[in-house]
Chain A
Amino acid sequence: MIMAETTPKNNESSSCLDTLARNPLYVGIAIGILAAFVQVLLVSAGGPEAYGFCVACHTRDVVNVAVNDVAGTKLAVAAISQNAILPVLTVIGVLIGAFLSAKAYTEFRTKSANAVSYIWYAVGGLLFMIFALFMGGCPYRIGLRVGYGDVVAFIGLIGIIAGVLIGIKVATKLMEREA
């Protein structure tokens, strides 16, 4: 009975667009096409190519431009962020967009954990950034580069898949030890 009551309510509140937005398949297509569109629109400001969306590189651009401005350093930044009045703000946008969406669908919930896991996540983020920048992008830019025809990015993608398999092995071992 409860199901019968709640189901129509959900259908009412979730629009047709939201049904599309909840399917990663359509989201993936949208991100790919939007990344290409951003390049055709903005690339006059500077390269590199296949740079429409990248969480690691775009975070790097925002942070390093800010540090360069404040501390007067010359940390490496992509040409497009160097030339433009402000760097690429994609990651700031993702923070805003996801927050608005989480609020709109009442999915915002503060989830805290213990201090040890905070340290692990911070160290993990630091290492992730370093290795992603060595690779020349996070998995998203690697995907864009594969779409752009870059063989090295494809090798990087195979590396990511190998890493995931190793990571699953490590995670299983860790869980066995805890159990």
Chain B
Amino acid sequence: MVLAGWLPKSAAIIAVPIVTIILGIIIGWLGQRSGFCSIGGFRDFFLFKHTRLLYGYIALIIGAFVGYLVFWLITPSAFEHFFWLMTSGFTPVPGAPAGLTVVGYTVLAIVGGIAVGIIGVLLGGCPLRQVVMTSEGNIKSLCFVIGMCVGSVVFAMWVSGWGVALLKAAGIA
């Protein structure tokens, strides 16, 4: 599968850090101004019936869909599997540990989702909010971000393999 976007590969590999850091600065600025938070959106809705942040997250999903749709119409080769359900059925978009069955990925999505939701509510925000609060001078959020960095190494070195082994042992991978 060869995904082809607007920039040819030789230019894209140089543009990746530049474009993504600009994207990050824009999102960081907007996130700081708006207090954008995905998990906070659900929390505020269930606790206080506040819809401000929740609408933001729903808008993100709709904005992403519209964006993908428009750019897919312009350059289909950059979105080879859009709309994923139509092209690839019930499989997930790659990202989680590779080589599992659909059932395995579904189990991971449910377990991961529940854990992420619980931790996010208890520590007062999703990762974007934590990163933004770090930049606002919150030391607790800085500890969260450092924990995330350690977690990514721990995951890649050990936990990812353990999880896959556990799923395989349980016969659902």
Contact = CB atoms under 8 A, between A and B. Distances in A.
Given A22-B33, A129-B155, A141 B95 contact: yes
Interface magnitude class on chain B: 35 or more
Interface magnitude class on chain A: 35 or more
Contacts of B160: 76, 133-134
Given A76-B160, A160-B42, A171-B121, A100 B95 contact: no
A172 to B, nearest CB: 9
Interface majority SS on B: helix, strand, loop or mixed? Answer: helix
Interface majority SS on A: helix, strand, loop or mixed? Answer: helix
Contacts of B109: 135-136, 152-153, 155-156, 159
B112 to A, nearest CB: 3
Given A43-B4, A44-B8, A45-B12, A124 B122 contact: yes
Interface in A74-130: 75-76, 78, 80-81, 83-102, 105, 107-113, 117-130
A43 B74 CA distance: 14
Interface of B: 1, 3-9, 11-17, 19-36, 38-39, 41-43, 46-47, 52-53, 55-68, 70-71, 74-75, 78-86, 90-97, 102, 105-106, 108-123, 126-128, 130-132, 134-141, 143-157, 159-160, 163
14 contacts: A32-B63, A44-B78, A51-B95, A56-B127, A93-B28, A96-B21, A97-B29, A98-B136, A105-B33, A113-B140, A128-B144, A139-B120, A148-B83, A153-B93
